Amino acid sequence: MPLTGFQRDILRLLAGNRNPDSYVAGGIVLNQTPATPRFSKDIDVFHDAETLVAAAATADAAILKAHEFDVRWFIQEPGYFRANVSKGPQAVKIEWVRDSAFRFFPIEPDPEMGFRLNIWDAAVNKVLALVGRSEIRDYLDVLFLHKTNISFGALCWAAAGKDPGWTPELILNEAIRTTRYTEADLNRLPLAQATTLPELKQQWLAAVGSAQDLISKLPPEDMGCLYLDPKGAPFTPDPDASGFSLVRRHFGRLKGAWPEFSE
């Protein structure tokens, strides 16, 4: 989902308020470039502690109002604030929420957003969103990730490590069960690249097939990890390859961690 100029202006304006405990997350992290398939309608700001949410929302709103943005609150509850931010005809929804501090990598500085969730954590979260709310935007984003970054199967495998109630098989089966969308659903999305439901379905069936094959072959003791290439980047491994046993396994932890490699 490419960012609009309006969204970039807001992110840059609020970047000084972001820090490792109040950071941009959600789908907007996955797609800061024009090559992505859709535009986002919201900005998510995550916090590791519920007590930080209200303070961050209040501070951000004060800056926005000082720069002549209109801030209209919809929800102001402990751990969850939501507002519509507009100026003239342009508007975006901003949500300030508490989220789990369990992740694979630390929060990262970003020149445009201030601080943001690591892209790989955002990708794993996207798979959990796909099975948690069954919205076509998650379907589209997961297919884009599968095609351009890391396979759906590898993301299902890692997602089981962020939510102990899931296994990779359960995540995959629930995704298969709930991904039912209509033309009306697709038409409501602000697309940057034209697509059709048959095209998406074809991509989905291929992603599901490869995920089923991968998950059936990965060793159970690795469940919940991301596999890292020699440069430390997550990738989709080949369990049948002779060097598979040497592939680095990276598991999530509180606040996340950077992998260490020895020569």
> Each residue of 96-119: pLDDT tens digit?
999 999 999 999 999 999 999 999
Pull the structure tokens for residue 237: 């491994």
Nearest to 7 by CA among 67, 86, 71, 80: 86
Residue type at position 53: V
Cβ–Cβ under 8 Å, residues 70 and 34: no
Q: Is residue 2 scored above 70 in pLDDT? A: yes
For domain 1-117, give the CATH number: 3.10.450
What pLDDT was estimated at residue 262? 55
What pLDDT was estimated at residue 213? 98
Residues 124-133 have pLDDT tens digits of 999 999 999 8
Q: Is residue 135 scored above 80 in pLDDT? A: yes
What pLDDT was estimated at residue 130? 96
Residues 35-74 have pLDDT tens digits of 788 888 899 999 999 999 999 999 999 999 999 999 999 9
Nearest to 43 by CA among 104, 86, 102: 86
